[in-house]
Structure 1
């Protein structure tokens, strides 16, 4: 049986506990009374949800969703306040949470309705045996509704609604690896176009023959609370991607194996979400290289930022002005600090779970693109398909969903194990 993906993060009520980095302090590190209250509600729901492991969850008003319904009503009041919408980031977070809770409440209501139908059918069957044939279908409806509600109650990755910053770096293979990095960048750009997302190249270093030594790009959704966020779909792309093909530089027709590394990071929704002390930064400027117009190699517009406490280094040279390059570099730096903080929190968890998408820079091979066989293989889920060119043209839905489903299966297994203990 192929390995499944591990759980990515704790539930929203326990977001990144004890998350701290020198020189990078998250605003939500100091929890308010409201946040602590929300944690208590989520804990109540998670523990109470154990009753949903079977087909007949507790339908009473004091059941596992009592706290969720109270939070839902509170969010409805907040979203009705025009003052809330003056802060776009806060309004977006509240809307996403409201949509999440609405789905839970709708699922519980559907379960109660199915249970009511089953009870009515049982009463009719006692009076008239001809109704007994309907009971199996009514019981199946209850089981399906209960399973749907249980799945919704499984703690989700709190970053799923976020946009991402995606970095691709050429690895072993020289020019061929750089060309493959460009192929991956094009693949993700086409995939984003299919989803209605926007992409923006933040920084890139080109190689000969039109490849990329490295490229950083932002991928943004339309911000709809009803659609999956970019992180929920692209977080499994992190790791080493391997290509097997005859390079354009190969004169003997031999197949070579090259690789490129992909790093996917949830993007901070606002600069204030990750505070960076200016004293912790060393900013170097230098002349940009490669395509870029008349100002290339004539002005010190390129920027390299070193975050001294963590040792992270980010360079940007795509923009024409030094200020613009600095802003883009800081944007990437915030995302990397956010990812580091999340990984540090995962390491502190009692069961030492490690997010498999966070191991992108640890040489974990996740996928192979085999041109001679027209095959794409995901090494985590066992997914294989023989439509390589379609995938490289952005048709990534099937391979992405194989990862999403494997991750969901792992979450369900953890949930059931916790409910049984």
Structure 2
């Protein structure tokens, strides 16, 4: 069982040698990738060591149990521990998404529901910022378009975790892409009626370094314009806002959050690289994960992945079946159980697809 581990352990030894070479660290992006892979293989090596140790212990206990009742009592406990260790190793051997260790760029867009949808988009942003804070991640607001009542028509944020994390920001937040539906009494509702609206979330893995993804300057159409605030009124007297169109793919990114045109251009290129990386991964892998394929294109309530029911204080994920009555805590950033349920569901689906190694 687990014959494939031998080649992975050999790869880990090779990476360990590379990490000791000063030349590797001259290339920050390459060093980051090697560190992540080494950390991933180290988790497998540790789990495999624990499993083989328990195999030996159980074999010895069964042999000694023939003559000693005390050892016979240890056998069921060791069998239970071995089963748990085996399951842990099986999960670690599931082929990982190569982007799992990456940081992300998240975009939240108001959809059906007008002003209420924009307010909900702001609530979602706050939820993700608090979740990121609880994980020790750093966040950076890249761009936003505010609504008249203080919500967001559109907001983009970068979320960054520790460089060597194997299970990084993307591994946790990639399942958040989709339409999020809210049921509540809007602040503007005078009759106390419950309204349903929706906001969309897009999540893209971020490129580690600009040189990782080459973009031909001739493929870009760059426009500059004056930034605007709520209602569309101009809030700047200079053409500081930037719109970049990647002509071959039709991807368009606009930035106006900074007062400097250069800063907005850099932020737009950062988002463009992330979107192009996601597009490349989908093109290279026809069997791309359902989570990535389901990223929204239009914010339509029929495509919802999750419902936030305020009157019942209920949160329900329609993909995993997860349901809880602690919506107030979730909106304050207590997302971990929901994230874990999505990760576990994905692992179960992959295990069912590839079968168990034997």
Q: Give the TM-score of the pair, scaled to structure 1.
A: 0.79
1:404 corresponds in structure 2 to: 343
Map 1:108-257; keep pairs closer than 5 Å: 108-128=48-68, 131-225=71-165, 228-257=167-196
Map 1:19-168; keep pairs closer than 5 Å: 51-52=1-2, 63-128=3-68, 131-168=71-108
**C-alpha distance in 1 between matches for 2:177 and 2:198:** 13
Residues 101 and 164 in structure 2, CA contact (< 8 A), matched pair in contact too: no
Residues 103 and 160 in structure 2, CA contact (< 8 A), matched pair in contact too: yes
* RMSD of Structure 2 on Structure 1 (CA): 1.9
Question: How far has the Cα of 1:128 moved from its partner?
Answer: 4.0
**C-alpha distance in 2 between matches for 1:130 and 1:403:** 43
Q: Give the TM-score of the pair, scaled to structure 2.
A: 0.93
Question: How far has the Cα of 1:199 moved from its partner?
Answer: 0.8
Residues 339 and 358 in structure 1, CA contact (< 8 A), matched pair in contact too: no
Question: How far has the Cα of 1:377 moved from its partner?
Answer: 0.9
**C-alpha distance in 1 between matches for 2:326 and 2:251:** 38
**C-alpha distance in 1 between matches for 2:72 and 2:335:** 47
Residues 113 and 198 in structure 2, CA contact (< 8 A), matched pair in contact too: yes
Work out the number of aligned pairs and report it. 351
SS in structure 1 of the partner of residue 66 of structure 2: helix
1:275 to 200, 214, 219: 214
SS in structure 2 of the partner of residue 209 of structure 1: coil
Question: How far has the Cα of 1:356 moved from its partner?
Answer: 2.4
Question: How far has the Cα of 1:129 moved from its partner?
Answer: 5.4
Question: How far has the Cα of 1:96 moved from its partner?
Answer: 1.2
Higher relative contact order, structure no. (Cα contacts within 8 Å, ≥ 6 residues apart): 1
Question: How far has the Cα of 1:139 moved from its partner?
Answer: 2.6
**C-alpha distance in 2 between matches for 1:204 and 1:65:** 47
1:313 corresponds in structure 2 to: 252
SS in structure 2 of the partner of residue 276 of structure 1: coil
**C-alpha distance in 2 between matches for 1:105 and 1:272:** 32
SS in structure 1 of the partner of residue 188 of structure 2: coil
Residues 237 and 357 in structure 1, CA contact (< 8 A), matched pair in contact too: no
* Further displaced range: 316-325 or 99-108: 99-108
**C-alpha distance in 1 between matches for 2:335 and 2:178:** 16
**C-alpha distance in 2 between matches for 1:304 and 1:148:** 47
**C-alpha distance in 1 between matches for 2:327 and 2:66:** 59
**C-alpha distance in 2 between matches for 1:137 and 1:398:** 29
